[in-house]
Amino acid sequence: MKRIRILHGPNIPYIGRGREPQWYGTSPWDEFQSKLQAKYAHVAILEALESPYEGRLIEWVWEIDKYDGLIINPGALAHTSYALYDALRGCGKPCIEVHYSQVYRRERFRQRLLTAKACMGVISGLGWLGYELALVALLRQEGITSISLDWD
Q: Residue 148: pLDDT above 70?
A: no
Question: pTM here?
Answer: 0.89
Quote the CA–CA distance of 85 and 127 in Å, as a whole number: 23
Q: Is the pLDDT of residue 48 over 70?
A: yes
Residue 40 annotated in active site: no
Residue 82: pLDDT over 60? yes
99 is catalytic: yes
CA-based angle 107:8:121, to the nearest 5?
A: 70
pLDDT at 40 over 60: yes
Residue among 8, 40, 99, 131 flagged as catalytic: 99
Q: How confident is the model at residue 151 (pLDDT cuts 50, 70, 90)?
A: low
Give DSSP secondary structure letters for 23-48.
Answer: HH-S--HHHHHHHHHHHTTTTEEEEE
Q: Is pLDDT at 66 greater than 80 in this prediction?
A: yes
pLDDT given for residue 142 in this prediction: 82
Count of helices and strands (H, E) across the chain: 5, 5
Average pLDDT over residues 6-12: 88
Active-site residue among 24, 40, 85, 131? 24
Model confidence at 127, pLDDT cuts 50, 70, 90, reads confident
- In CATH terms, 2-141 corresponds, of 3.40.50.720, 3.40.50.9100, 3.40.50.1370, 3.30.230.10, to 3.40.50.9100
